[in-house]
Amino acid sequence: MKVSLAVADFDPPMANIVFRGTLDHILSRTASLGYQGVELFLSTAQGVDGDHLKSLLDDNGLETAMLVAVGDLLNTGLSLSHTDPAMRQAYLDAAPVHLGLASKLGAAVPLGYNRGRLQPGESRAELEERLTDTLCRYHQIAYDLGVM
């Protein structure tokens, strides 16, 4: 794959999304323009039929450069650096579904979208300490699932 477009099956407030809509429509449209891949933003990984999605991609001659399927998690306030350990754990508990789908699609999983934000009065070092701990735990989950 040489060139990909960012596409989404929902309407995220992000300028980098080129096409939004139903997956069959946006994948067909992307392929018709001669692109080889997509940066796939899904509202959720929960309940997604990975085999069907892989078939849609294959039918359109597209690869998945990356998968971001955590809109539902972010909408609930979950992040990798949340100040509440239970919220970070809830994020990690949801990770296997996202990682499994990414693995099926052969997609990279960018975690920058889920890092969380610096809180008022908090130092960057405090945020990065929590983030580093959670990233290590996330990596272990991926490794245990055979995704790494």
pLDDT tens profile 97-148 = 999 999 999 999 888 878 888 999 999 999 999 999 999 999 999 998 877 6
pLDDT at 148: 67
* Mean pLDDT (the chain, rounded): 91
CA–CA separation, 134 and 33 (whole Å): 39
Q: What is the mean pLDDT of residues 69-74?
A: 74
Beta strand 19-20 with 4-8 is parallel
In the sheet that holds 37-41, the strands lie side by side as 19-20, 4-8, 37-41, 63-68
Ranges of H-type helices in 1-148? 23-32, 50-59, 71-75, 85-105, 124-144
CA–CA separation, 109 and 122 (whole Å): 27
The answer, yes or no, to whether residue 69 has pLDDT greater than 90, is no
- pTM value is 0.88
pLDDT at 78: 87
Q: What is the mean pLDDT of residues 77-82?
A: 90
pLDDT at 1: 67
The first and second tokens of residue 144, run together, are 């245990």
